[in-house]
Amino acid sequence: MTTTTCPSFVDLRAFADGAVAGADPFGADALPLALRGGPVAIAAHALQPGGGRATSDAGDTFAIVARGGVALTIAGVSHTLAEGDALVIAPGQAFDWTSPDGATLITMRYTGGMGGDGAAVRIDTATTRAPSGAPLAELLIGPTPQCHNHTQFLSTDGEFMVGVWDSSPYHRRAMPYRHFELMYLVDGSVTFVDEAGRAGTFAKGDIFLVEQHAQCSWESREDVTKIFAIYRPKA
């Protein structure tokens, strides 16, 4: 990933490199990301080789493996996760983790989430996706793309969603983001330019955040597939 210093986009892989492994990676030893506000918390968790037990905080928590591998046992179900694998953990859910060689996870927590039955929702990048809406015609520079989406998790209030999205190439003018969006690029690349003219290009395997109230364009010159975790207020 290449980018200039840009407050609108956060390279979460680079951010996660600052996390230090400790005895409480999902608590006191987690590295929080400073945000501009809103009911969202982002953190990096460096796991030392071994294992432990933890409890998720209040709110629905999206977790993705940035480096290494880890097994999480949640509500009696074991989930073996490699780099790029992701799931959603319910609020206050106790879980066990094991990582023979150590790992780094990135989490995005919607603090307003109420959770469901306690079961984790594993994000499947191979899921069948349905056609979804394209960017507004007045924002597009060039042809309208073909987009597809499958939302695999939705909070009880409908404001936090996680799933998989794909699109053919397109170029969109700058627009204000009403939402926070964490993205993991499964395939393709995309370039953003914000209101200050700062540019950031993200490619396959990158994990990044666009903050709420950022204003930026989008340009992808190849097909893109991404995992998304979005907080978007209804009002």
Q: What is the pLDDT of residue 72?
A: 98
- Which one of 122, 150, 169 terminates a domain? 122
Average the pLDDT over 173-179 and give the result.
91
pLDDT(3) > 50: no
Helix, strand, or coil (residue 187) = strand
The pTM of this model reads 0.94
Same domain, 14 and 90: yes
Buried b (16+ CB within 10 A) or exposed e, 103-129: bbbbbbbbbbbebeeeebbebebeeeb
Q: Which domain holds residue 181?
A: 130-231
Per-residue pLDDT tens digits for 129-157 = 999 999 999 999 999 999 999 999 999 99
Residue 3 lies in a domain: no
The verdict on 40 and 71 lying in the same domain is: yes
4 falls within a domain? no
Domain total for the chain?
A: 2
Residue 47 shares a structural domain with residue 89:
yes
In a shared domain, residues 115 and 45: yes
